[in-house]
Amino acid sequence: MADILDNWQKKALDKRKENRDYLKRVTKKRGMEKHLPDLHDEAFSKIDCLNCAGCCKNISPRFKTPDITRAAKYLRIKESQLIEKYLRLDEDGDYVVQSSPCPFLGADNYCGIYDARPGDCRKYPYTDSGDFFEYVNTTHLNSTICPAVYYVLERLKQIVP
Ligand code: SF4
Ligand code: SF4
């Protein structure tokens, strides 16, 4: 299966329509979620997030109130300082980072607030969660950002054509 990840970003873009149609078709099928734990483990046995950081470079987590409290405490700054220096409100009224890549991402791809990172960062990329099929548009977008999502989708297409 090693070839699935070769040149995956180009293939993910080329397969955008195919993958959107597939996700829409299988999302209501019973039993799809049972494949996720094994495929999640399979994907991350081949992918090292520290060689990637695609999520931290391209999209922002939401900083919900507990996330702001936790991160500010970790950085030993006031919550208002964290908001002023790093965050902005998006169109949905959620706090997100002001710029990409995420300001907490280090040059070595380590997260500078790893132990206090937002809940969204902990859950991303949802390859072991029911959210994978629940939020088709997000999963589809993530298939062009995260190699693990692309990988799981390709393997799902093999198992459940
Ligand atoms: S995009 Fe996916 S593989 Fe890359 S760092 Fe994020 S979770 Fe890991
Ligand atoms: S807080 Fe950390 S894990 Fe989350 S996007 Fe920023 S660098 Fe990545």
Residue range 64-80, pLDDT digits in tens: 999 999 999 999 999 99
The values of phi and psi at residue 52, to 5°, are -125, -80
Protein residue with least CA distance to atom 5, ligand 2: 56
pLDDT at 1 over 60: no
Mean pLDDT throughout 39-59? 98
Regarding the beta carbon of 49 and ligand 1, being less than 6 Å apart is answered yes
Residue 106 pLDDT > 60, yes or no? Answer: yes
Mark whether 8 and 38 lie in a shared domain: yes
Compute the mean pLDDT over every residue in the chain, rounded to the nearest whole number. 96
The Cβ of residue 151 has, within 10 Å, a number of other Cβ atoms equal to 24
145 lines ligand 2 (CB under 6 A): no
Over residues 136-158, mean pLDDT = 97
Q: Give yes or no: residues 67 and 82 share one domain.
A: yes
In a shared domain, residues 109 and 155: no
Determine how many CB atoms are found less than 10 A away from the CB of residue 75. Answer: 16
What letters, b where the CB count within 10 A reaches 16 and e where it falls short, cover 1-14? eeebbeebeebbee
User: The domain containing residue 94 runs over which residues?
Assistant: 62-115
Residue 102 has pLDDT above 80, yes or no: yes
- Total domains in the fold of the chain: 2
- Residue 28 is predicted with a pLDDT of 84
CA 158 to ligand 2 center in whole angstroms: 32
